[in-house]
């Protein structure tokens, strides 16, 4: 599914060069649930942006579902994001004036597929159903709780049946109860066959995953099943 | 791209954005409003004016030709004296006999005289000498009595026509036809009354007293022997204007013995020339108005550009999100261009409304003769066209900026 080889990413800030990724190679298979962990500055955000096709590597290759995406133009990348990737952000990023249904429908605005209005609504309703919000479709984000808001965002990410669901600190803005709800939701989606990558710095969150990839200074320092990961074990072991 | 749904959403979003910032949007479009309102009002007034003037020319008759004495340009002043240039009665007679394209012709000469009735004395009244053919040349109805005839002219009879204003000003009682008045102390019989017409253009000035006498009588009344004569003629049909002009030139040049090198010492004009003159005047005014509008649209455009830049920076995160879920740079660009055009259109809409109100205001000024002021459909289309252009031109830079935002940076924007 994902095949990354010798990925480098160098930012230029003025005359200074920041080497955010220094030769990262990872394979992630279909229906894996992976946590990417690391301290700030470890390169995990850069890795996530690259995996999400929001950023292009300076060198190295990235094959997504058999497609080489590292050299694509920004328009092609936009199509890849639209069709193959679902994002979940720490701060939800819902459009505040729009209903939950309209928010979930948003990716279809930029879809290359032609769909009837009925089909669009059916898709959005189905996605909301999968996250258990069938009864909140007409609510705006301000009328929803934090956990519900994040579930709307997850429904939006699921809408186009993405190859990867990419979540960046999805529980960073949630209390422990709703964190649990959201993680359970991820786990049931995973059980349905969804490939999920979660970027987090919380061992608790990582413990919901099968596999943990740790980064430091732009390099992979550990890549093992969650139950073997020391940090995760200390946090209470893989559940 | 799923074009249809994208554009529907884009339009909905653009207007949603306008509605969410009503006051800001209105203030932003003020420049466009002023520009469009002024162009609409100017075009409305000019259109009304054109209709009215052309209608006046129509009633004048499109088939009229005039000849004036005229000192040619580009030759020394002493080359042609007044006696060379002046139209003379015998020239007019020859034209009458030999000019094929006209069916009626009259010399016209004006003088000022003192007119007296039993009770009134008027100084400086306009007295005009004409041939009987004048009635065919001018569309002035004789509403009482009779027009002039050849006997009046040939026998130099002491008869006159007066207009209705003259009847009033002279306080003539009863039927004026058959009464007599004094012109410069000599007694003339009123044979008919012609209708008073408004002075030619735009209803300026009230009606004035006019007296008409046979040309042969005016010839005697003129103080100077070198008095001014112009010629008014009626074409056999309106299409003959050009032919009639060349015929008149040929005849007059031959009569005056002008050689091929000599310029014309007279000027022949047909009504269509006046129409052309008016049209070029109107387009001149339109051009000036266009310049003014251009400036206010420029100002309006800059306003739109600024507010769009504000909008782009306010909505940076939203742009980031849209990009993350698959909006291409082109889609973001289209979205923001559309918003700029929508802003501009709102300005255009309000502007056309205000422009129409202004036009209605002008139309309701009493006696200005501008009742026919209207906003032509092409002006509305043109205004919206301009608005679209302003929106696209001035929205381009902000839209470009939005489309080039890096989605990662945009999502991190506070």
List the one residue out of B262, B197, B200, B209 whose CA is nearest residue B57.
B200
CA distance B408 to chain A (A): 7
pLDDT-derived band at B1, boundaries 50, 70, 90: very low
- CB–CB contact B329 A114 (8 Å): no
User: Looking at the complex, does the CB of residue A92 fall below 8 Å from at least one CB of chain B?
Assistant: no
Q: Are B13 and A98 in contact (CB under 8 A)?
A: no
CA distance A111 to chain B (A): 6
Burial of A180 (0-12, 13-18, 19+ CB in 10 A): middle
Q: Are B268 and B67 in contact (CB under 8 A)?
A: yes
Assign B24 to helix, strand or coil.
helix
Residues in chain A within 8 Å Cβ distance of B320: 93
List the one residue out of B64, B68, B65, B90 whose CA is nearest residue B229.
B68
The chain-wide mean pLDDT, for chain B, equals 86
Out of A49, A55, A78, name the one closest to residue B328 (CB).
A78
- CB–CB contact A52 B324 (8 Å): yes
List the one residue out of A152, A151, A159 whose CA is nearest residue A186.
A151
The interface residues of chain B toward chain A in range 275-294, judged by CB-CB distance below 8 A, are none
Q: Are A201 and A39 in contact (CB under 8 A)?
A: yes
Q: What percent of chain B has pLDDT over 90?
A: 35
- CB–CB contact B2 A52 (8 Å): no
User: Looking at the complex, does the CB of residue A87 fall below 8 Å from at least one CB of chain B?
Assistant: yes
**Beta strands at A67-68 and B64-69: parallel, antiparallel or unpaired:** unpaired
**Mutant choice from A74, A78, A82, A118 vs B, greatest count of B C-beta within 10 A:** A78
For residue B323, the chain A residue with the least C-alpha distance is: A78
pLDDT in tens, B281-324: 888 887 887 787 778 888 888 999 999 999 999 999 999 999 99
| d(C-alpha A157, C-alpha B175), whole Å | 99
Give the lowest-confidence range in A89-93, B63-67, B197-201, B277-281: B197-201
User: Looking at the complex, does the CB of residue B9 fall below 8 Å from at least one CB of chain A?
Assistant: yes
For residue B332, the chain A residue with the least C-alpha distance is: A110
User: Looking at the complex, does the CB of residue A83 fall below 8 Å from at least one CB of chain B?
Assistant: yes
Complex ipTM: 0.93
List the one residue out of B137, B147, B150 whose CA is nearest residue B235.
B137
What residue spans define the domains of chain A?
A: 2-235
Assign A112 to helix, strand or coil.
coil
Mean pLDDT, to the nearest integer, of B104-117?
91
The pLDDT assigned to B260 comes to: 84
Give the lowest-confidence range in A82-86, A145-149, B200-204, B373-377: B200-204
User: Looking at the complex, does the CB of residue B139 fall below 8 Å from at least one CB of chain A?
Assistant: no
Strand partners, A27: A3
End-to-end CA distance of chain A: 25
Per-residue pLDDT of chain A (239 residues), as tens digits, is 899 999 999 988 888 888 999 999 999 999 999 999 988 889 898 999 999 999 999 999 999 988 899 889 999 999 999 999 999 998 889 998 889 999 999 999 998 888 888 999 999 999 999 999 999 899 999 999 988 999 999 999 999 889 999 999 998 888 888 899 899 999 999 999 999 999 998 888 888 899 999 999 999 999 999 888 877 777 765 45
Give the lowest-confidence range in B55-64, B76-85, B334-343: B55-64
Out of A52, A110, A156, name the one closest to residue B6 (CB).
A110
Mean pLDDT, to the nearest integer, of B149-162?
92
- Residue B161: CA count within 13 A, CB half-sphere: 29
- CB–CB contact A54 B2 (8 Å): no
User: Looking at the complex, does the CB of residue B412 fall below 8 Å from at least one CB of chain A?
Assistant: no
**Mutant choice from A44, A54, A160 vs B, greatest count of B C-beta within 10 A:** A54
What token pair was written down for B73?
A: 């340009």
Q: What are phi and psi of B199, to 5 degrees?
A: -55, 150
Q: Is the pLDDT of residue B203 over 60?
A: no
Q: Are B323 and B338 in contact (CB under 8 A)?
A: no
More confident residue, B206 or B47: B47
Give the lowest-confidence range in A118-132, B40-54, B138-152, B323-337: B40-54
List the one residue out of B363, B385, B386, B384 whose CA is nearest residue B374.
B363
Q: Which of B45-49, B151-155, B374-378 has the highest mean pLDDT?
A: B151-155
**Mutant choice from B325, B328, B332 vs A, greatest count of A C-beta within 10 A:** B325
Strand partners, B267: B68
The pLDDT assigned to B58 comes to: 66
Q: What residue ranges in B167-292 does DSSP mark as E strands?
A: 180-183, 186-194, 210-214, 230-235, 266-270
Residues B397, B398, B402, B406, Cα dihedral to 10°: 60
| d(C-alpha B91, C-alpha B95), whole Å | 6
Angle at A18 between CA B409 and CA A60, to 5 degrees: 85
B112: left (phi over 0), alpha (psi -120 to 50) or beta: beta
Out of A49, A82, A113, name the one closest to residue B408 (CB).
A49
Count of CB contacts below 8 A, A vs B? 75
Q: How many CB atoms lie within 10 A of CB A78?
A: 27
- CB–CB contact A111 B327 (8 Å): no
User: Looking at the complex, does the CB of residue A136 fall below 8 Å from at least one CB of chain B?
Assistant: no
The architecture that CATH gives domain A2-235 is 3-Layer(aba) Sandwich (3.40)
CA distance A234 to chain B (A): 32
User: Looking at the complex, does the CB of residue A114 fall below 8 Å from at least one CB of chain B?
Assistant: yes
Mean pLDDT, to the nearest integer, of B116-141?
87
User: Looking at the complex, does the CB of residue B2 fall below 8 Å from at least one CB of chain A?
Assistant: yes
The pLDDT assigned to B206 comes to: 54
Residues in chain A within 8 Å Cβ distance of B328: 74-75, 78-79, 110
Contacts of residue B403, Cβ cutoff 8 Å, sequence gap at least 6: B329, B330, B332, B333, B336
């Amino acid at each position: 599914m994902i095949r990354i080889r010798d990925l480098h990413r160098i930012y230029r800030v003025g005359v200074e060069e920041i080497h955010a990724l220094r030769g990262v190679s990872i394979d992630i298979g279909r229906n894996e649930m992976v946590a990417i962990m690391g301290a700030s500055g470890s390169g995990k955000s850069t890795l996530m942006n690259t995996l999400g096709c929001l950023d292009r590597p300076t060198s190295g290759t990235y094959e997504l579902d058999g497609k080489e995406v590292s050299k694509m133009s920004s328009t092609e990348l936009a199509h890849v994001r639209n069709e193959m990737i679902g994002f979940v952000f720490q701060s939800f990023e819902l459009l505040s004036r729009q209903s939950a249904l309209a928010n979930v429908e948003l990716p279809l605005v930029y879809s290359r597929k032609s769909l009837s209005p009925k089909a669009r609504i059916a898709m959005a309703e189905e996605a909301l159903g999968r996250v258990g919000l069938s009864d909140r479709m007409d609510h705006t984000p301000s009328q929803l709780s934090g956990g519900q808001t994040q579930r709307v965002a997850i429904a939006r990410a699921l809408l186009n049946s993405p190859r990867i669901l990419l979540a960046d600190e999805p529980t960073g803005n949630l209390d422990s109860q709703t964190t649990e709800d959201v993680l359970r939701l991820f786990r049931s989606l995973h059980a349905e066959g969804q490939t999920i990558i979660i970027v987090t710095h919380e061992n608790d969150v990582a413990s919901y995953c099968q596999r943990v990839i740790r980064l430091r200074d732009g390099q992979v320092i550990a890549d093992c099943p969650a139950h073997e990961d020391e940090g995760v074990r200390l946090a209470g072991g893989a559940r | 791209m799923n074009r249809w749904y994208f554009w529907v959403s884009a339009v909905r979003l653009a207007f949603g954005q306008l509605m969410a910032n009503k006051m800001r949007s209105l203030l932003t479009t003020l420049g466009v409003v002023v520009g469009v309102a002024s162009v609409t009002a100017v075009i409305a007034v000019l259109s009304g004016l054109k209709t009215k003037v052309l209608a006046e020319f129509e009633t004048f008759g499109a088939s009229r030709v005039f000849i004036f004495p005229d000192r040619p340009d580009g030759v020394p002043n002493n080359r042609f004296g007044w006696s060379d240039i002046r139209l003379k009665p015998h020239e007019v007679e020859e034209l009458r006999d030999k000019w094929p394209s006209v069916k009626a012709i009259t010399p016209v000469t004006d003088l000022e005289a003192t007119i007296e009735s039993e009770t009134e004395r008027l100084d400086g009244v306009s007295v005009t000498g004409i041939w009987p053919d004048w009635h065919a040349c001018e569309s002035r109805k004789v509403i009482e009595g009779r027009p002039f005839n050849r006997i009046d002219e040939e026998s130099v009879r002491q008869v006159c026509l007066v207009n209705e204003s003259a009847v009033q000003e002279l306080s003539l009682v009863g039927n004026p036809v058959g009464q007599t008045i004094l012109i410069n102390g000599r007694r003339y019989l009123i044979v008919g009354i012609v209708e008073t017409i408004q002075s030619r253009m735009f209803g300026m000035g009230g009606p004035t007293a006019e007296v008409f006498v046979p040309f042969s009588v005016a010839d005697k009344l003129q103080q100077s022997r070198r008095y001014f004569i112009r010629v008014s003629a009626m074409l056999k049909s309106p299409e003959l204007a050009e032919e009639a002009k060349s015929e008149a030139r040929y005849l007059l040049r031959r009569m005056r013995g002008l050689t091929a090198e000599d310029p014309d010492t007279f000027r022949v004009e047909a009504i269509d020339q006046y129409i052309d003159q008016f049209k070029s005047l109107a387009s001149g005014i339109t051009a000036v108005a266009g310049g003014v509008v251009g400036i206010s649209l420029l100002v309006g455009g800059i306003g739109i550009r600024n507010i769009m830049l504000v909008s782009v920076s306010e909505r940076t995160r939203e742009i980031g999100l849209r990009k993350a879920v698959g909006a291409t740079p082109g889609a973001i660009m289209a979205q923001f261009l559309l918003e700029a055009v929508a802003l501009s259109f709102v300005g255009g809409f309000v502007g056309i409304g205000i422009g129409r109100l202004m036009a209605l205001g002008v139309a309701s000024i009493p006696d200005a003769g501008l009742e026919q002021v209207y906003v032509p459909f092409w002006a509305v289309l043109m205004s919206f066209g301009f608005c679209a252009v302003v929106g696209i031109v001035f929205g381009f830079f902000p839209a470009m900026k939005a489309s080039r935002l890096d989605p990662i940076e945009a999502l991190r924007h506070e």
